[in-house]
Amino acid sequence: MTDTTRTDPPAEPPTARAVPGDVGPDGPARQDVPALEARGLVKTFGPIRAVDGVDLSLEPGRIYGLLGPNGSGKTTLIRLLVGLARPTSGEATVLGRRVPSRELLARIGYMPQADGIYPELSVWENIRFFAGLYGSFDRERLLETLRVVELDGRAGTPVLQLSGGMRRRLSLACALVHRPPIVVLDEPTVGIDPALRVQFWAHFRSLSAGGATLLVSSHVMDEADRCDELLFIRAGRVIARGSGAEVRRRAGTDNLEEAFLRFAGDGTETAA
């Protein structure tokens, strides 16, 4: 019978292996190629154009906010960019290589909207499993990742016994445990308390400072100013791009929500 009360992770062999794409030992992504790039990306579902001719190029080492209301195409665009869905037309590249690519998987950290963790396993078993997929067996690294999301004291707890917010935190840990240079997070702060949200963004900033590129989707405008650059998306199209200050200036308002509505009303794409 599984012990559900133990909070300390079980002992692990002291073996540590290099992780492909690790922003630590292997260094950050190359700076001479875009971290993420889309050329004429289109994705249709019957008559619906979920992504409608997106062109973008994201430089390494920055935090990009993908902002738009529910149903605007954020999740579909993200899935195309990381190679989890095939476009109807156009192409996407990660670090200069076309996706989907099995070789790129270890260089991407992806956190979906729905928690992609195993409820029957414990916190520790989940993070160890996902780290192992990328060849990472460094016990200290796993523990440090759990500390970031404040789950180190719940390592032996089955996921079934966690709250929704705790499951969200574990999903983030599993996406970051192999320290990838490309981090794509779909609504990562949904369901977590304000204090932990601040801590998450501080960690995102530290990842960016270390050379990682982050693409963070959200429909919460008050998170926008935590990003280096914003991409407003509506009806599958990028309708505005730039820093928070830039998009406010071009929209002629100090309010980001109002800025989005003005760009959406124009129906035209606005480049930085």
Q: Within a domain: residue 22?
A: no
pLDDT digits (tens, 9 = 90+) for 2-30: 444 445 565 543 333 333 334 443 445 55
Residue range of the domain that includes 104: 37-118+181-266
Q: What was the pLDDT predicted at 136? A: 79
Q: Within a domain: residue 135?
A: no
37, 15, 13: which is closest to 99 by C-alpha? 37
Strands 48-58 and 213-218: unpaired
Q: What was the pLDDT predicted at 118? A: 95
Rounded to an integer, the average pLDDT of 221-248 is: 94
Q: What was the pLDDT predicted at 13? A: 39
Q: Two tokens at 110? A: 């992806």
The two counts, helices (H) then strands (E), for the chain are 7, 10
215, 214, 172: which is closest to 197 by C-alpha? 172
Q: Within a domain: residue 12?
A: no
Q: Within a domain: residue 170?
A: no
Residue with the larger pLDDT of the pair 142 and 113: 142
Q: Is 75 a residue whose pLDDT tops 90?
A: yes
Q: In DSSP terms, which residues pair with 270 in a beta bridge? A: 240
Q: Torsion angle, CA of 66/99/204/225, rounded to 10 degrees?
A: -20
Q: What was the pLDDT predicted at 8? A: 54
Confidence of residue 63 (pLDDT cuts 50, 70, 90): very high
Q: Within a domain: residue 185?
A: yes
Q: What was the pLDDT predicted at 29? A: 53
Rounded to an integer, the average pLDDT of 233-240 is: 96
Confidence of residue 228 (pLDDT cuts 50, 70, 90): very high
- CA 52 to CA 42: how far, in whole Å? 5
Q: What is the mean pLDDT of the chain?
A: 87
Q: Is 41 a residue whose pLDDT tops 60?
A: yes
Q: Within a domain: residue 8?
A: no
Tally of domains within the chain: 1
The pTM (predicted TM-score) of the whole model is 0.85
Q: What was the pLDDT predicted at 10? A: 55
pLDDT digits (tens, 9 = 90+) for 183-195: 999 999 887 888 8
Confidence of residue 55 (pLDDT cuts 50, 70, 90): very high
Question: CATH code at 260?
Answer: 3.40.50.300
Rounded to an integer, the average pLDDT of 116-129 is: 95
Q: What was the pLDDT predicted at 174? A: 95
Q: By the 8 A CB rule, do 68 and 74 touch?
A: yes
Q: What was the pLDDT predicted at 123? A: 97
Q: Considering Cα of 99, then 100, then 105, then 108, what sign does the dihedral take? A: positive
Enter the DSSP assignment of 270.
B
Rounded to an integer, the average pLDDT of 241-264 is: 94
Q: Which helix (H) or strand (E) holds 242?
A: strand 237-242
Looking at the chain, list the stretches that DSSP marks H as alpha helix, in order from N- to C-terminal side.
Answer: 74-81, 123-133, 139-148, 164-176, 194-209, 244-251, 256-266
- CA 102 to CA 90: how far, in whole Å? 19
Q: Within a domain: residue 108?
A: yes
Burial of 114 (0-12, 13-18, 19+ CB in 10 A): exposed
Q: Considering Cα of 244, then 246, then 249, then 252, what sign does the dihedral take? A: negative
Q: Is 46 a residue whose pLDDT tops 80?
A: yes
Confidence of residue 267 (pLDDT cuts 50, 70, 90): low
What percent of the chain is modeled with pLDDT above 90?
70
Q: Within a domain: residue 100?
A: yes
